[in-house]
Amino acid sequence: MTGGASGPSGLGVRLRQATVHWGTNSYIGLYRLLGGRWVQKWTYGTPVILLTTTGRSSGLSRTVALGHIRVGDDMVVAGTNGGKERLPDWVWNLRADKRCQVEAGRERFYATAEFLAGHDYQTHWIRLVEEHPIYQTAGDMLERDIPLVALHPTKERP
């Protein structure tokens, strides 16, 4: 069902959003239940972490599953938002509060986010697309810049 020139009807959009929300929450629950085993890699072999940020408006914890690369002790994630032009909410949340929590399998730690730029951005982007070419596909599709964020572990909640 469509709403003519204005796009899908409100009900259709809400149904799709509910399906994605349910699917994402189910994946996160399964990831935690299994400690990341059997679900720690996405399509194309991209390793997955769970990133928990603080909602910039709500102040509530928000968890998303993201592909990443490991660089020493750090994790580097890309704000592709599944190829959508809109920046993912977790990017906005980290811009407002750089403190977060990371789950990599059974490993859990607090981290501080650093938005990469310049040489660091280029170096990590090249490595990311070499290891996981699906990110290049997203980069080719999008007209916006894709933020790269390094998650630096901290001993306790910063």
pLDDT at 96: 97
Q: What percent of the chain has pLDDT over 70?
A: 77
For the chain, the domains span 1-33, 36-154
Find the DSSP H helices in the chain. 10-33, 89-96, 118-131, 134-141
Q: Which residues are CB-neighbours of 106 under 8 A, at least 6 positions away? A: 35, 36
Q: Which CATH superfamily is domain 36-154 in?
A: Electron Transport, Fmn-binding Protein; Chain A (2.30.110.10)
User: Which carries the bigger pLDDT value, residue 81 or residue 119?
Assistant: 119
Angle between helical axes of 134-141 and 118-131 (0-180°, round to 10): 120
Q: Tens digits of per-residue pLDDT, 52-110?
A: 999 999 999 999 989 899 999 999 999 999 888 999 999 999 999 999 999 988 889 99
Residue type, position 154, single letter: T
Rounded to two decimals, the pTM is 0.80
CB contact at 8 A, 49 and 104? yes
Token output for 125: 């982007």
Please report, for residues 23, 48, 106, 122, 136, the alpha-carbon distance to residue 102 in angstroms, rounded to integers and kept in the order given: 20, 11, 10, 23, 24
